[in-house]
């Protein structure tokens, strides 16, 4: 069995490619939305239960996992750390698929290393803060002492639970943009204008995460961008293409 941490679009595509190559695959997701998308691939085993290190060990032992493919989100540091530790305990080969980041040639991009630092930096540029970081870390902005009195607009997935969580954090409907990407440069630009954004806060999630079009739109409008850096992790084995992952899995299958 090949276990794929597949909570992203490219993770799902990679799991599907492994399945189509004839490997038995378990794809692990953390949302009902991700689970529904994976149901399009007959024969794929889907795990939707959160798995910490110990739970991963038990799961891999029970299902005889022979290779672990970590295609989790670039910012899901805990997932990767738990996966590597579990694989070391069981001597299961591990490979990280890391999507490439987006290079940026724009002098108004300000890099920070945490959500808290992003909130502090964003406060320097005006009262209207437009978040494109997803819903999981909205609290770091709504509860930041630096952003009290600011207007925070969050672009999130149009999922009831996610919208409800943002509402609990104090965001009003007019400051919740519930849309499913990908977003073109033109749509990003119009949203920034519509919400009178003074600053954009984002992560370098790669082109598949829409970082390129977010930056292009901000640059056209001359808006500052606060960029939260990816966590720095020393992966045991890392690949940047699907072909590299497929080659690694094929090599392990021969052993």
- The pLDDT, as a whole number, for residue 105 is 80
- The pLDDT, as a whole number, for residue 232 is 86
| Alpha-carbon span 192 to 153, nearest angstrom | 10
| Alpha-carbon span 18 to 3, nearest angstrom | 10
Asked if 188 and 89 sit in the same domain, the reply is no
| Alpha-carbon span 192 to 155, nearest angstrom | 11
- The pLDDT, as a whole number, for residue 53 is 96
- The pLDDT, as a whole number, for residue 136 is 83
Asked if 93 and 123 sit in the same domain, the reply is no
Asked if 129 and 72 sit in the same domain, the reply is no
- The pLDDT, as a whole number, for residue 140 is 94
| Alpha-carbon span 36 to 12, nearest angstrom | 11
Asked if 54 and 140 sit in the same domain, the reply is no
- Number of independent structural domains in the chain: 2
Asked if 179 and 209 sit in the same domain, the reply is yes
- The pLDDT, as a whole number, for residue 213 is 93
143: how many CB neighbours lie within 10 A of its CB?
13
* pTM of this structure: 0.81
Asked if 74 and 87 sit in the same domain, the reply is yes
Asked if 176 and 241 sit in the same domain, the reply is no
pLDDT tens over the chain, length 255 residues: 999 999 788 899 999 999 999 999 999 987 776 777 788 888 899 998 889 999 999 999 999 999 999 999 888 889 999 999 999 999 999 999 988 777 778 899 999 999 999 999 999 999 999 999 988 889 999 999 999 999 999 999 898 889 999 999 999 999 999 998 789 999 999 999 999 999 999 998 777 678 899 999 999 999 999 999 888 899 999 999 999 999 999 999 887
Answer whether 26's CB lies under 8 Å from 5's CB. Answer: no
80: nearest Cα among 21, 8, 159: 8
Asked if 83 and 190 sit in the same domain, the reply is no
- The pLDDT, as a whole number, for residue 189 is 97
Q: What is the CATH number of the domain that holds 31?
A: 3.40.50.720
Token readout for 199 is 């600053």
Q: Is the peptide bond preceding residue 182 cis, with omega within 30 degrees of 0?
A: yes
Name every residue whose Cβ is closer than 8 Å to that of residue 247 and which is 6 or more positions away in sequence: none
Asked if 248 and 215 sit in the same domain, the reply is no
| Alpha-carbon span 191 to 163, nearest angstrom | 18
63: how many CB neighbours lie within 10 A of its CB?
14
Asked if 22 and 38 sit in the same domain, the reply is yes
Give CA angle at 187 (114, 197), nearest 5°: 50
31: nearest Cα among 2, 11, 16, 1: 11
The domain in which residue 49 lies consists of 2-100+232-253
- The pLDDT, as a whole number, for residue 102 is 76
Asked if 165 and 75 sit in the same domain, the reply is no
| Alpha-carbon span 244 to 38, nearest angstrom | 22
Q: What is the CATH number of the domain that holds 119?
A: 3.40.50.10470
Mind giving me the DSSP string for 60-122?
HHHTT--EEEE---TT-HHHHHHHHHHHHHHT--EEEE-PPPPP---TTEEEESSHHHHHHHH
- The pLDDT, as a whole number, for residue 110 is 96
| Alpha-carbon span 171 to 223, nearest angstrom | 22
| Alpha-carbon span 160 to 90, nearest angstrom | 38
- The pLDDT, as a whole number, for residue 206 is 74
Asked if 191 and 151 sit in the same domain, the reply is yes
Q: Which CA distances in Å does 43 have to 16, 18, 22, 24, 40? A: 10, 12, 10, 8, 9
């Amino acid at each position: 069995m090949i276990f794929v941490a597949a909570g992203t679009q490219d993770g799902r595509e990679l799991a599907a490619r492994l399945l189509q190559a004839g490997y038995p695959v378990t794809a692990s997701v953390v949302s009902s939305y991700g689970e529904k998308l994976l149901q399009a691939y007959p024969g794929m085993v889907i795990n939707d239960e959160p798995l910490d290190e110990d739970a991963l060990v038990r799961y891999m032992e029970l299902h005889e996992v022979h290779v672990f493919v970590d295609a989790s989100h670039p910012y899901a540091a805990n997932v990767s750390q738990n996966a590597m530790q579990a694989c070391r305990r069981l001597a299961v080969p591990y490979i990280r698929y890391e999507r490439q980041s987006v290079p940026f040639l724009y002098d108004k991009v300000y890099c920070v290393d945490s959500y808290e630092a992003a909130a502090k930096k964003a406060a320097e540029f005006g009262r209207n803060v437009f978040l494109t970081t997803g819903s999981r870390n909205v609290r770091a902005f709504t509860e930041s002492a630096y952003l009290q009195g600011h207007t925070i607009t969050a672009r999130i997935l149009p999922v009831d639970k996610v919208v409800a969580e943002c509402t609990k954090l104090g965001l009003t409907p007019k400051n919740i943009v519930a849309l499913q990407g990908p977003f073109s440069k033109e749509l990003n630009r119009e949203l920034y204008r519509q919400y009178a954004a003074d600053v954009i806060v984002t992560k370098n999630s790669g082109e598949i995460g829409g970082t390129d079009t977010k930056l292009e739109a901000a640059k056209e409008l001359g808006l500052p961008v606060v960029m939260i850096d990816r966590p720095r992790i020393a992966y045991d084995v890392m690949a940047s293409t699907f072909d590299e992952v497929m080659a690694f899995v094929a090599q392990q299958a021969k052993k």
